[in-house]
Every structure is written in C-alpha cells, then in structure tokens.
Amino acid sequence: MRKTTFRRGLGLGASIMLAAGLAFTAAPAQASERPIDITGYKVSDVTVADSNCRNISVTATTKVKSDFVDSYGSVDVTRNGGLVYSLWFDGRKITDRAMICPSFSGLGTYKVGPADINAKFKYYDSVFGQYRNDYSDYTDNTSKKFQVRGKTKSTLTAKRVGSKVTLTAKAQVFAPEKYRYAQYNGVGTKVQVKSGKTWKTVKTVNLKKGQAASL
C-alpha cells in the first residue's frame, strides 16, 4: 500500500489509501487567493479642541469574487509607522470605529490600512464530486490617510503710523499633550484681507512665539 495526498490552498486536502497497481492522481482545484478585496476606505479628518479620545468611524468598500463565503480580519490604524489602533471586522461589510487619543498619539497624519484578512471560499472537489470550503490568508495593502488637527485661535490687528500700516497676527493652536492652547509657530502663514467676496493675501509671514508683524 502507498499513500497519496491531495493538497490544495493551505493544506486542507484528502488522504486516500490506494492499492498498488490501482493508483490514480487527480489535479487539485485551483485556490482563490483573494476572495475579497478592499477597494477603499472612508474616514474623515478631525479637529480637536480638548484632550479627550475620539471614536472615528471607518468604513471600507469591498469587492468579492463568486467563490466568496465569509471573511474576518483586522485593519491597522497607524501614525508615523506606529500602531495606534486595530479595527476588527467580519463578513463583506467592514465598518468600525477607531479610538484616537490625540493627547497620547499626537496631532498629524494618520493612516488606515493595510488589513490582514482570513477569507473562506468554496471550491469544487473533483475527487469527491462536491463543493467544499477552504481558507486563504493574505494582506490587503489598500490604505487611506486622514488628519488629526488642533483647533486654532487667531487675531489680526492693524496700526497706522503716517502712511504705513502695521498688521500684527497672533495665533494659538490646541496642544493636546499640554491640555491647553499654545503659541503657534507656523512657517508660511498667510495674512489675508477680504476684498468684496474674496480673500486677498497681503503677505506671507513666519509666526514666532505665536506672533508676526507685517508692514
């Protein structure tokens, strides 16, 4: 007696004992590598004015193949390459809320994705003449970035001396790690005035210690 093993996908196959001289082989069904694909994420930018954590809704759009049965997995939410939160899902509809704590993780650019997926799919087993289920594990690298910004406060005052007008801009931004508003030091800050229905840039300045003056 010799043992012939039919293997497919991740190793879910059938082992059959065959008498010597009567052995036969059958080609295994082709495994579906990606029964479900994430085609995009929907997530909104956030502006914070306090240090409380936020639950940010994340929704993914997906595309499934005809052999798709079910799926589950996790989606990474990261900032600067570090994991901030893991979203969990099952089925073909991916919707969850990511907890973002700006006082801990900071302000800036966050990213949703990639996702680790375990998907169940069906295939036709030609040995037994029936449909069976198998599994496929893979990483979906679809991603989307979103911003977590601090709320700002700004003022613009004007002082005339003769023919010269001095504009003084002051700005603060909420710093969640400090639990308060702090001086905003911005590069390329635009000073604008409204002319009719449009805003016109008077000058671009750099704020130092939250303040800049322009003549």
Task: Write 197-203 long-range contacts (CB < 8 A, 24+).
Answer: 202/167, 203/167
Q: Which domains does the chain have, with CATH numbers?
A: 26-149 (2.60.40), 151-214 (no CATH)
The confidence band for 19, taking pLDDT boundaries of 50, 70 and 90, is very low
- For residue 3, what pLDDT is reported? 36
Q: What backbone torsions phi and psi does residue 46 show, to the nearest 5 degrees?
A: -130, 140
- For residue 32, what pLDDT is reported? 61
Segment 100-128, tens digit of pLDDT = 999 999 999 999 999 999 999 998 888 88
Segment 26-70, tens digit of pLDDT = 334 445 678 999 999 999 999 999 989 999 999 999 999 999 999
Lowest mean pLDDT segment, chosen from 97-101, 165-169, 186-190: 186-190
